[in-house]
């Protein structure tokens, strides 16, 4: 029998749960996303996907958690509510799940689809924020570029 709690990516990812509990990651839905986009600095929307993508969502969450540590105070990040992902995907140009959408002033800068190498995340955030003051350790044995 399917467990309905597993449709919620937070139930399958310690990294997502950790970020939510620490306040590093907010939750947004179709009704609150515009308020979130009024945050100053770089904004990140995390489209985690359904339970079929939960392993990939966890990997993306680990990368996001490290980026948020590197750029503490410079990024506002939010997890898009699973029931509203399909409705919001076209607006934010999300074609694959999981995805991170990087925005500034509510304008889309870049969409990072699926799981990438650590160096891809570093380059993406560096493009908009410059080099991190204290780079995070490379997660899970990947190499720096």
- Residues 45-66, mean pLDDT to the nearest whole number: 92
DSSP 3-state assignment of 104? strand
Q: What is the pTM of this model?
A: 0.86
Domains and CATH numbers, the chain: 4-129 (3.40.30.10)
With vertex at residue 113, the alpha carbon angle to CA 24 and CA 123, rounded to the nearest 5 degrees, is 70
Q: Looking at per-residue confidence, does 27 or 12 come out higher? A: 27
pLDDT greater than 50 at residue 55:
yes
pLDDT (tens digit per residue) in 113-129: 999 999 999 999 999 99
Beta strands in the chain (DSSP E): 26-28, 42-47, 75-80, 99-104, 107-113
Helix, strand, coil content of the chain in percent (nearest 5): 45, 20, 40
pLDDT greater than 90 at residue 132:
no
pLDDT of residue 139: 56
CB-facing half-sphere around the CA of 95: CA atoms within 13 A = 3
Handedness of CA 120, 77, 39, 31 (dihedral sign): positive
How many angstroms separate the Cα of 67 from the Cα of each of 45, 72, 113, 125, 137?
Answer: 13, 8, 16, 8, 10
DSSP letter, residue 130: -
Which residues lie closer than 8 Å to 142 by C-beta, 6 or more apart?
Answer: 117, 118, 119
Widest CA span of the chain, in angstroms? 48
């Amino acid at each position: 029998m399917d467990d309905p709690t597993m449709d919620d990516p937070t139930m399958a990812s310690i990294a997502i749960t950790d970020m939510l509990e620490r306040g590093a990651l907010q939750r947004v839905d179709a009704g609150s996303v515009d308020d979130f986009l009024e945050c100053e600095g770089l904004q990140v929307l995390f489209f985690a996907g359904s339970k079929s993508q939960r392993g990939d969502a966890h990997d993306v969450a680990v990368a996001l958690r490290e980026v948020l540590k590197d750029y503490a105070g410079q990024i506002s990040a939010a997890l898009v509510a699973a029931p509203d992902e399909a409705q919001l995907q076209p607006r934010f140009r999300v074609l694959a799940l999981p995805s991170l959408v990087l925005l500034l002033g509510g304008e889309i800068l870049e969409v990072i689809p699926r799981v990438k190498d650590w160096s891809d995340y570093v380059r993406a955030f560096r493009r908009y924020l410059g080099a991190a003051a204290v780079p995070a350790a490379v997660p899970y044995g990947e190499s720096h570029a």
